[in-house]
Structure 1
Amino acid sequence: MTAELVLLPVKELDLVYREWQWPFAHEHRNKIDAHFAEARRAKPEMFNGQILMARDPVVAGDTFSARYFQTDFASFLAWRDWGFPDASVFNGFGMGALRTSDGAFVLGEMGQHTANAGKIYFPAGTPDLNDLRGDAVDIPGSVMRETAEEVGLTPDDYRAADHWDVVQAGSLTAMIRILDLAVPGDAVRARIEASLAEQDDQELSAIHLVRSVSDFTETMPAYIRAFLAAKL
């Protein structure tokens, strides 16, 4: 069954960290570890670091809020690969929707060594401990960091929108902020490709420009296509 997609514009994100032990990660520890070991045999570059997942999402007025907790990537991967068996939690992450001066959106294709190989979407990453500011989860900072790491663009290169589009799709929630560039699409793609060529450990294997729904592919997740369809 395809998850229902909900797109909500909000002005504020109220995301807080709370200590909490995820029952799924504890109860299935041995199976999770075995699953991750098998995944690493196929993709040795995978690293079982600590990440942040979320629960208790609420949209009230112009604010999206949720509570985050710490877990390991292996538990997240098993939860994802096994079809999201615990529906009480979700993967809540930020994305930078790069939009060029001639109206194209810029998306990256994930490399074959990554956990999302072949998928095409905006610069993004599941938040981790580096995104904590006290007990606040800094999704705007996560978006800036991921955009710089993945495509080599910094806040000096774009103007960030003053609102977020929260796209809820089953067990994931993407908090998408449009980042407007003052440069046309082909020039942006050339600059990013040059940046990728200089990276020692690049996540992306290709850059795609989307100007209309005719540019959509099946390797773009449904929530990305829903967001783009509303913006193009």
Structure 2
Amino acid sequence: MSEAFTLTRLTRLDARLVPYDWAWARDNAAAIAAHWDVRKAAKPTLFDGRVLLACACAVTDGACRIDLFEAAFSEFLAFREGGSPDAAVTNAFAAVVPWSRDGAAVLGVMGRDSANAGQIYFPCGTPDHSDVREDDRVDLVGSAAREFREETGLRIPSDAAPEWLLVSGERQHAFLHPVHFPEEAASLIARMEKHRAAEAEPELAGFVAVHSGADLDADRMPGFVRAYLTASYR
């Protein structure tokens, strides 16, 4: 596992929407707009919606409390692609990690029209306001399940263990939910591909099964993915 990442098993996840004055985005508005114009020209389908980023995250005895705030996707993209220059803000998201009966993790390949084209990681998405519930609670668990369903067509089995792991590093907090399916990887991918083929505008370009550490792709898999899978295959 990369030394840049830490893995923490969680017993509780409490995510909240909070007000936050993002000074970096305000002070760099012109540069953010210029960056968005370049990215939009290259990928016209990009949408500048509202997403949730983290401004605080703490874990005590397995219980995690994370504070999230709303920002424009253009702000987030410039922030991330500019090297995450504000140390107080991080990219936080949740993802289901589907494991097959034959011990493979199944990942998605991002489509050419996405902001992360060609990258390989677990089906997921940046949380947004649709994930906010009563009392400003952010449903990261529901966000992961929704994204997984939308991108793969699969539902999480009702008997899935409530296991969560936080992978932190490189200005990211990835909340991962390992879920074991009773099928082998080839069957899982076949079901996912059937769903993808039926979509008018699929977000994913395909799927990849990782059976061991030898299958890791350092060029296309983000650090949090490699850190988690490296630890899993030890």
Same fold (TM over 0.5): yes
Q: What is aligned with 2:182?
A: 182
1:52–1:69 Cα contact (<8 Å) kept: yes
CA contact (8 A) 1:25 1:32 kept: yes
The answer as to whether partners of 1:158 and 1:180 remain within 8 angstroms in 2 is no
Q: In the aligned structure 2, how far is the partner of 1:10 from the partner of 1:111?
A: 31
- Give the letter for the 1:180 counterpart: H
Alignment of 1:1-232 (within 5 A): 4-134=4-134, 135-155=136-156, 157=157, 159-218=159-218, 219-232=220-233
In structure 1, the gaps of 5 or more residues are none
Q: Deviation of residue 3 (structure 1)?
A: 7.3
Tell me, in whole angstroms, the C-alpha distance in 1 between the residues paired with 2:100 and 2:159. 11
In the alignment, the residues of structure 1 paired with residue 91 and residue 34 of structure 2 have an alpha-carbon distance, to the nearest angstrom, of 22
Distance 1:35 1:46, change over 3 A: same
- State how far apart, in whole Å, the 2-side matches of 1:224 and 1:151 are: 18
Deviations 1:189-213 (A, max 9, x none): 1111111111111111111001111
Paired residues of 1:96 and 1:179 also in contact (CA < 8 A)? yes
Give the Cα–Cα distance (whole angstroms) in 2 for the partners of residues 143 and 125 of structure 1: 8
Report the Cα offset of residue 77 of structure 1.
Answer: 0.4
Compute the displacement of 1:161 (Å).
Answer: 2.8
The question of whether the paired residues in 2 share the 8 Å contact of 1:108 and 1:206 is answered with yes
- Taking only the aligned residue pairs, the percentage that are identical comes to 36
Using the TM superposition, give the Cα deviation of residue 21 of structure 1 relative to its aligned residue in structure 2, in angstroms: 2.1
| Letter of the 2:183 counterpart | V
**TM-fit CA distance, 1:84:** 0.5
C-alpha distance in 2 between matches for 1:67 and 1:217: 32
Contact 2:101 2:185 in 1 (8 A): yes
AA partner of residue 26 (structure 2) = H
CA–CA separation in structure 2 for the residues paired with 1:8 and 1:187: 31
TM-score of the aligned structures, taking structure 1 as reference length: 0.95
For 1:166, the aligned partner's letter is: L
3-state SS, counterpart of residue 88 of structure 1: coil
CA drift of 1:180 comes to 1.4
Count, aligned residues: 230
Shift of 1:29: 1.1
Residue type of the alignment partner of 1:98: P
Letter in 2 for 1:141: G
CA root-mean-square deviation: 1.3
1:68 and 1:163 map into 2 onto residues whose CA distance is: 22
2: CA distance, partners of 1:80 / 1:21: 18
Q: Which 4+ runs in 1 deviate beyond 3 A?
A: 157-160
Q: Deviations over 1:37-86 (max 9, x none)?
A: 11000000100000000112101011111111011000000001111110
Structure 2: runs of 5+ lacking an equivalent: none
Going from structure 1 to structure 2, the CA distance change for 1:8 and 1:49 (only over 3 Å counts) comes to same
Name the SS for the 2:90 alignment partner.
Answer: strand
- 3-state DSSP class of the match of 2:145? helix
